[in-house]
Amino acid sequence: MTNYKIVVLPGDGIGQEVTTEAVKVLRAVGQGVGVGFEFEEALCGGAAIDAHGTPIPGATLDLCRTADAILFGAVGGPKWDDLPPEQRPERGLLALRKELDLFANLRPAKLFPMLVDASPLKRSVVEGTDLLVIRELTGGLYFGEPRGIEKIQGGMRGINSMIYTTPEIERVARLAFEVARKRRRKLTSVDKANVLAVSTLWRQVVMEVSQDYPDVTLEHMLVDNCAMQLILNPLQFDTLVTENTFGDILSDEAAVLAGSMGMLPSASLGGKTALYEPVHGTAPDIAGRDLANPIAAILSAAMLLRYSLDLPAEAERVETAVLRVLEKGYRTKDIHSEGTTLVGCRRMGELIVRDLETLYT
């Protein structure tokens, strides 16, 4: 029997609750299809700061390197908010991305038909939204040097550097074209080429890579316009590719299109071991109260099955189970509306597992 080793990094806040449900779903898949899963939990984020004084202990990183895939929850919280950026829980996640060379972050925003009314946008605008943001994840402002705060005459100066090299742009562009090819074959590259030198290079390299993908329609869009177009006419988009900071911002905006942040999964690919995490954060206001939506984490587990374990049929089964539970009218608080049945995080997980089990019998 094939045996997969999955490292689980629940992190902080609702990260704990939602990864627990995602693990249950993977166990059910394992039983259904006859593969073994070995789950190893490790510390990351605020929990690791409290236990070891660092957001990403060496032991966690080592464990991650030996895994078939990583299932991540969320990190951060008010308890650690006063720490300097270099020591914050978020640093743990950034270090993981960099150390494991996870340069491409896939964030699909697909609006489930029964959740149209959970979106603050008009049905006529948002219905049918199905797009994918590919965010470059290991370069740009997040990692560029020089960085920091320094003293200058008359005050202080804060610095971050947006830097991209040709190979860094090329690899994420290539991956984006490959992904777009498997979707509706339209790729929008988002930049700020009317102002930034980095973006001029970005656009050039993306155009060069596009030569190898004549079957994919490429368009370029300035990031400010893209922010507007996403809510004006989301149906025009299929696959988007953009640098780290733009992708961070645009993917939160795209999350609104899917009804709730609680619905959005993500995959961070590139190196040998990929990482899967819900796009939402730790939601300290609802943490520990069984109120979180586990669907983003569960759909992240589906992405894990698809991209790391090459089990696309099982990924689809998980997605179908989620769809069917929503069709039956079950909703967590974030997507609840009149006439639907309000359930907690655990119950939502249970319902999805039970539905999944029926798909295997």
Which CB atom, from 223 or from 351, has the smaller least distance to ligand IPM? 223
Which among 248, 276, 330, 334 is annotated as catalytic?
Answer: 248
Binding to ligand IPM (CB under 6 A): which residues in 91-120? 93-94
Tokens found for residue 288 = 């520990």
When CB distances to Mg ion are compared, the closest residue is: 248
Site track for ligand IPM across 199-238, x = CB under 6 A = ----------------------------------------
Which among 68, 191, 192, 355 is annotated as catalytic?
Answer: 192
In the list Mg ion, ligand IPM, none, the entry touching 90 (Cβ below 5 to 8 angstroms by class) is ligand IPM
The nearest distance, CB 305 to ligand IPM, in angstroms, is 21
Q: Is 164 part of the annotated catalytic residue set? A: no
Please check whether residue 189 is in contact with residue 221, taking contact to mean a CB–CB distance below 8 angstroms. Answer: yes
Q: Is 310 part of the annotated catalytic residue set? A: no
Q: Is 224 part of the annotated catalytic residue set? A: yes
Q: How far is CA 124 from the centre of its chain?
A: 27
Interface with Mg ion by CB under 5 A: which residues? 248
- Measured CA to CA in angstroms, residue 24 lies from 17, 190, 261, 305 at distances of 11, 37, 21, 14
Q: Is 215 part of the annotated catalytic residue set? A: no
The nearest distance, CB 286 to ligand IPM, in angstroms, is 17
Binding to ligand IPM (CB under 6 A): which residues in 239-258? 248
Binding to ligand IPM (CB under 6 A): which residues in 66-95? 76, 90, 93-94
Q: Is 192 part of the annotated catalytic residue set? A: yes
Please check whether residue 89 is in contact with residue 11, taking contact to mean a CB–CB distance below 8 angstroms. Answer: yes
CA gap 87, 89 in Å, rounded: 7
In the list ligand IPM, Mg ion, none, the entry touching 73 (Cβ below 5 to 8 angstroms by class) is none
Active-site positions read 142, 192, 224, 248, 252
Binding site for ligand IPM (CB under 6 A): 76, 90, 93-94, 248
